[in-house]
A = this chain, B = another copy of it.
Amino acid sequence: MRKGELTRAAILDVALDLASRDGLEGLTIGLLADKMNMSKSGVFAHFGSREDLQLEVLKLYHHRFEQEVFFPSVKEPRGIQRLKSMFARWVKRVSVEVASGCIYISGAVEYDDRPGPIREELMAMVGAWQGALLRCVKQCVECGDLKADTDPQQLVYEMYGLILALHHDARFLRIPGSLGRAATGFERLIETYRNPQTPSAVVAQQ
């Protein structure tokens, strides 16, 4: 690996930290150069433009999210167990991000009315994650873990709400115990949609 690629990776790593804290839109080349003990132009040269830098940071974040949340969960068997794993890892990740900030969430606010490639990329990523959740819920219905009349979109919507509330209450309002409330909310959610004819689901409930 050449030196250039190495420093580029190091820059992106620091940039992800900064963007998590201040938002993608708050990410600035000057501050990034300071943190890297480099000149502005030295940092800039690794990316064609600030927007390219932001896109790379976004991709890096997505990659880490997949690595920490998605991939370990799809190793779990289909059904409620996998869904629980997805949510648990998601909560864990966000609860860590309570200190650093979640780019999917802050990005959703920053780019809800700012067209361009970053918005497109962000929408695609968040959409992909919601899509993965949706597929998992549908599998839960198919295999009988959840009621047949379950509305998958509705369930995903409410799961997302629990995570957003966690981010809001824990990171912004600094209310203690938010993590437990997310977990409690999820359990109640699952309980509502659980198929009473499948006691095996109860057993699978660790």
Size bracket of the A interface: 35 or more
Once A168-B160, A173-B123 are accepted as A-B contacts, the answer to whether A113 and B184 lie under 8 Å apart by CB is no
| A36 interface residue (CB < 8 Å to B) | no
| A30 interface residue (CB < 8 Å to B) | no
Chain A binding surface SS class: helix
Interface positions of A (Cβ within 8 A of B): 21-23, 101, 105-106, 108-113, 123, 126-127, 130, 151, 153-154, 157-158, 160-165, 168-169, 171-173, 177-178, 181, 184-185, 188, 192
Chain B residues whose C-beta falls within 8 Å of the C-beta of A127 in the assembled complex: 173
Partner of A185, one of B112, B158, B163: B158
Chain B residues whose C-beta falls within 8 Å of the C-beta of A126 in the assembled complex: 172-173
- Interface contact A22-B158, CB-CB below 8 Å: no
- Interface contact B22-A113, CB-CB below 8 Å: yes
